[in-house]
């Protein structure tokens, strides 16, 4: 029986593949933005407003130093964002996958999907 390919966009470039993954999560979950960042808060891939993603990545680096997951509201620069974050380990390095906006249910669903996609894409390197 043939398998059905769900992915609409593909790339051989890791950053672009991660960006496509996050974009699909944002579109399906009606999220404001998503970001994959390293432990220092450096965004590796983003979907959505770049400045928002930079702010979230930097803030989640501080949160991620203390916990493997976060769900709450982030206050920064006069803005408040509903945020979900989870850490994923790829080759011994911790990365943070963050979802911004959308409903609580969609944030949880898309953060899990984004984490699986991040592991799959980076694990193939």
The answer as to whether 7 is a domain residue is no
Instruction: Return the pLDDT at 4.
Output: 46
54 pLDDT more than 70? yes
The answer as to whether 63 is a domain residue is yes
The answer as to whether 1 is a domain residue is no
Instruction: Return the pLDDT at 91.
Output: 87
CATH number at residue 65: 3.30.450.30
Q: Return phi, psi of residue 81, to 5°.
A: -125, 135
Cα separation, 16 vs 24, in Å, equals 12
58 pLDDT more than 90? yes
- Report the length, in residues, of the chain: 125
Number of domains in the chain: 1
Q: Would you say 97 and 25 are in contact if contact means Cβ atoms under 8 Å apart?
A: no
The answer as to whether 91 is a domain residue is yes
Instruction: Return the pLDDT at 6.
Output: 52
Q: Give the chain's mean pLDDT.
A: 88
- The per-residue pLDDT for range 2-31, each reduced to its tens digit, is 554 455 555 567 889 999 999 999 999 999
């Amino acid at each position: 029986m043939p398998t059905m390919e769900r992915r609409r966009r593909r790339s051989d470039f890791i950053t672009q593949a991660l960006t496509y993954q996050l974009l699909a999560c944002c579109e399906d979950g009606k999220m404001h933005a998503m970001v994959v960042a390293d432990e220092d808060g450096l965004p590796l891939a983003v979907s959505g407003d770049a400045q928002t993603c930079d702010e979230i990545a930097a803030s989640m680096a501080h949160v991620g130093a203390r916990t493997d997951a976060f769900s709450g509201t982030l206050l920064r620069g006069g803005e408040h964002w509903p945020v979900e974050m989870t850490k994923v380990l790829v080759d011994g390095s911790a990365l943070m996958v963050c979802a911004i906006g959308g409903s609580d249910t969609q944030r949880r669903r898309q953060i899990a999907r984004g984490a699986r996609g991040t592991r799959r894409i980076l694990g193939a390197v």
